[in-house]
Amino acid sequence: MNRRAKSRSSRPRRRTPATGSKWAVPMAVGAIALTALGGVGYAVVSGADTVRPDDLGCYESAAPQGSTTIWWDASMSWSPSQERDIRAAVAQAWETLPFNDRFSVITTEADTVGDLAPRRVELCGPARSESDYARHGIEKTASSGFLSNEADKRFHEAVQPVVDSVFSETKAQQKVLAIDSPLLEQFQAISRGSGFRDAGGRKRLLVISDGIQNTEIARFCDVKGDLPPFERFKDKPEYARVAPAAMSGVEVSFYLVLHADYGPHCTEDELAAFWSAYFEEAGASRVAVYRLRPSGKD
């Protein structure tokens, strides 16, 4: 036993050649792999695998976290040109989504207009460059081509199916259009939601609607006098029941889906002015109303 131990201890150790590092082969293989992939490959630096996103693709360590919320009145009809405009608006909201900001889509139907409907999509914005990771202290590196492809993939797998389903259901007449349209109640619920209220970064709200409030609070365009200028409307006792929580710093984009005829008790100008004043009163930092005409003309 002693002789074996002595013999083993006297065996000369294998030495690394003086002309190369012990990391030379792995690094060379990695470089060849990335080169072969033509810039579309993905590489993770040391320690990066310890920082992982949650099921929604969100990184808790990356703060502050903003939000983009799309509220879509899916209980109405639209023309082909309006459909194209809506699709473009949703795609642009995704393309301009900052890294790690929450992105959610809420749609209304005939059976959910009374309460805030569940989010049909909720996920976090993907990184689109290495600098996105670096700014948030995440030690990951990847090619721009790979990150761009991953962002497109997530949109087509998670967001695009929801957009397609809303339009396909309308065309196939698979849903009953709602009689009531509680826009004021819905916006109040959104403003009070923790995910929207507590967002620490940039906050955006995209509204896709014809702008017609139709509940006991008010019946725009149907009842004479129910759509006065907002400065007078906010003094009504009914408004106190549906006034939103503060929307300080929120950027609002209202895509007003116009009809051919609104009737004798309102105009598109009155609707646009009302909602602009409504969100400004709530504290929005920016309000833009985009009129989507059936013909596609501005």
Estimate the crossing angle of helix 80-95 against helix 160-171, to 10 degrees: 170
Quote the pLDDT of residue 199. 65
> Per the omega criterion (within 30 degrees of 0), is the bond before 118 cis?
no
Quote the pLDDT of residue 63. 64
Q: Read off the tokens for 295.
A: 């013909």
For the chain (298 residues), the mean pLDDT of every run of 10, in chain order, is 41 38 36 35 42 86 81 87 96 96 85 69 93 86 90 96 88 61 91 76 94 91 93 94 92 94 88 97 96 76
CATH fold for domain 63-127+144-292: Rossmann fold (3.40.50)
* CB neighbour list of residue 252: distance below 8 Å, 6 or more residues apart: 204, 205, 206, 207, 279, 284, 286, 287, 288
Judge whether 182 and 113 are in contact, CB under 8 Å.
Answer: yes
Quote the pLDDT of residue 137. 82
Over the range 45-74, which residues count as b (16 or more CB within 10 Å of their CB) and which as e? eeeeeebebeeebbbeebeebbbbbbbbbb
Quote the pLDDT of residue 175. 58
Q: Are strands 203-209 and 141-142 parallel, antiparallel or unpaired?
A: unpaired
Domains of the chain by residue range: 63-127+144-292
Quote the pLDDT of residue 32. 33
Judge whether 137 and 131 are in contact, CB under 8 Å.
Answer: no
CA neighbor of 180 nearest in space, from 218, 214, 222? 214
Quote the pLDDT of residue 295. 78
Quote the pLDDT of residue 118. 79
Instruction: Please tell me whether residue 98 adopts helix, strand or coil conformation.
Output: coil
Quote the pLDDT of residue 74. 81
